[in-house]
Amino acid sequence: MRSDEHEVAEEPQKQDGRKEDVERQLHKLRRRLDGIDDKIVALLSERQTEVEQIIAFKKAHSLPVYHPAREENLISRLRQQGRKVGLDPDFVEELYRRVLRQSRVEQTAHMARRGVRAGATVVSVGGNGAMGRYFCRWFADAGYRIRVLGRQDWSEADARCKDADLALVSVPIEVTTEVIARLGPYLPIECVLADVTSIKGPPLEAMLQAHNGPVVGLHPLFGPTTSTLDKQIVVATPGRNASSCQWLLDQFAAWGSIVIQADAGEHDDIMGVVQALRHFATFAFGQFLRLKDIDLHRTLDFSSPIYRLELVMVGRLFAQDPSLYAEIIFASPERRALIKDYVRCLNDNLTMLGRGDKALFCEEFKKSAKWFASFSEQAIRESSYLIDKLIERF
């Protein structure tokens, strides 16, 4: 055999040898990576052990699950640390947001099983409705004794309210003040009277008139399908004898909720925008799409993530009970007046559209942009996060 033929014959063997060497090196690198992953899981387990100790401490001292300042300080520190070692701070933040949420959910699950006043009696007025049943489950799981006072139970109201520690009213808005007035005479003087209505002015006044004991208005900003109270907002409007009502607010905090204090007037003014106006605008947009018979699914084929986000919020509204939204939108003359102002504002733009007045549009746009300026950075940051999540999902 010629020497050149011998070299050709050996070439495949050399290539096979190099391939095996590359595979061995890659396997070694992967084993090192696997070792790091094992350490990460072990550290997460160690962290969870520490979380369980914190849970026990918080339960012993009735401390709230969520501490916003502590969490944000931690995230800021970890972002800086990540940047120093060459990691994307946004990646570090996203990772730890997930870790911290899991920690809160674990804490909430444990705290939910311990009542701040376990053994106390809760009378759920309207407890057969969706929100009534929802809170009955949470209070029962925390060790409270539950009595339901429904529409057909008023003949037994005296017995069901006897020795009650809390009467929680969760009935439709239009009958709330009537039910409160009817309930008042049956309540012990030391019983806390609270409602969960989405308006606070008239119900709070009705409770103060009907009951001489502790009174507090509540507005949970979530619905009965919520699986966890972690970081869910509950607005509390002081009524009377706040110290006697504090255990109830502490219970929501123990479940992981964020309790915000506001007087009834401020609450109703803000909720007029946050709920009534927003829901009506969403309703009107969806109604317009229906009247124009828009092919929704086809629009999604052409949609940007932000359009998809907007459309799913419209679809979400129309997938629910219309009476719930009607109660919120038509709850008070003030809310209806606010929505009328909004419709008049829309009508004011008809002339601009009719003339095709781009200059006027830009002028109004700039005025609003200036007004929104202090919120703009936050808006871009939060909306970008949501858009990125939608892109990952779809």
Report pLDDT digits (tens) over 350-364. 999 999 999 999 999
The predicted pLDDT at position 59 comes to 67
Is the pLDDT at 339 greater than 80? The verdict is yes
The predicted pLDDT at position 385 comes to 80
State how far the Cα of 249 lies from the Cα of 234, in Å rounded to an integer.
9
Is the pLDDT at 307 greater than 80? The verdict is yes
The predicted pLDDT at position 234 comes to 97
Write the pLDDT tens digit of every residue in 235-260: 999 999 999 999 999 999 888 899 99
The predicted pLDDT at position 13 comes to 66
The sign one gets for the Cα dihedral 74, 75, 77, 81 is positive
The predicted pLDDT at position 392 comes to 73
Which tokens sit at 49? Answer: 């052990």
The predicted pLDDT at position 264 comes to 96
SS3 149: strand
The predicted pLDDT at position 228 comes to 83
Is the pLDDT at 121 greater than 90? The verdict is yes
Q: What is the pLDDT averaged over residues 199-211?
A: 97
The predicted pLDDT at position 226 comes to 86
Q: What is the pLDDT averaged over residues 72-83?
A: 87
Give the model's confidence band at 4: pLDDT under 50 very low, under 70 low, under 90 confident, else very high: low
**Lowest-confidence range among 105-119, 120-134, 208-222, 229-243?**
105-119
Beta strands 166-169; 192-195: pairing state: parallel
Report percent pLDDT > 90 for the chain: 60
Q: Which residues pair with 123 in a beta bridge?
A: 147, 167
Is the pLDDT at 62 greater than 70? The verdict is no
Give the model's confidence band at 186: pLDDT under 50 very low, under 70 low, under 90 confident, else very high: very high
The predicted pLDDT at position 323 comes to 87
- Residue, of 57 and 277, whose pLDDT is higher: 277
Q: Is the pTM of this model over 0.85?
A: no
Report the chain's terminal Cα–Cα distance, integer Å: 63
The predicted pLDDT at position 68 comes to 66
Give the model's confidence band at 65: pLDDT under 50 very low, under 70 low, under 90 confident, else very high: low
Is the pLDDT at 300 greater than 80? The verdict is yes
Q: Which of 6-15, 61-70, 264-273 has the highest mean pLDDT?
A: 264-273
Distances (CA, A) of 129 to 44, 133, 224, 246: 41, 6, 10, 26
Per DSSP, helices labelled H in 62-88 are: 68-84
Give the model's confidence band at 112: pLDDT under 50 very low, under 70 low, under 90 confident, else very high: low
What long-range pairs does 214-219 form, CB within 8 A, spacing at least 24?
A: 214/190, 214/239, 214/240, 214/241, 214/242, 214/244, 214/245, 215/239, 215/240, 215/241, 215/245, 216/192, 216/242, 216/245, 216/248, 216/249, 217/264, 217/267, 218/194, 218/248, 219/267, 219/271
Which tokens sit at 137? Answer: 């489950």
Distances (CA, A) of 255 to 122, 244, 392: 17, 19, 31
Strand positions, DSSP E, the chain? 121-125, 145-149, 166-169, 192-195, 215-220, 233-240, 258-261
Q: What is the pLDDT averaged over residues 102-124?
A: 78
For 196-232, give one letter per residue: b (16+ CB within 10 A) or e: bbbbbbbbbbbbbebbebbbbbbbbbeeeeeebbbbb
Q: How does the average pLDDT of the chain come out, rounded? A: 89
The predicted pLDDT at position 67 comes to 67
Closest CA relative to residue 171, chosen from 212, 208, 211, 206: 206
The predicted pLDDT at position 391 comes to 77
Give the model's confidence band at 109: pLDDT under 50 very low, under 70 low, under 90 confident, else very high: low
Closest CA relative to residue 307, chosen from 285, 287, 278, 284: 285
Is the pLDDT at 313 greater than 90? The verdict is yes
Q: What are phi and psi of 388, to 5 degrees?
A: -60, -40
Closest CA relative to residue 67, chosen from 107, 94, 117: 107
Is the pLDDT at 14 greater than 90? The verdict is no
State how far the Cα of 255 lies from the Cα of 230, in Å rounded to an integer.
7
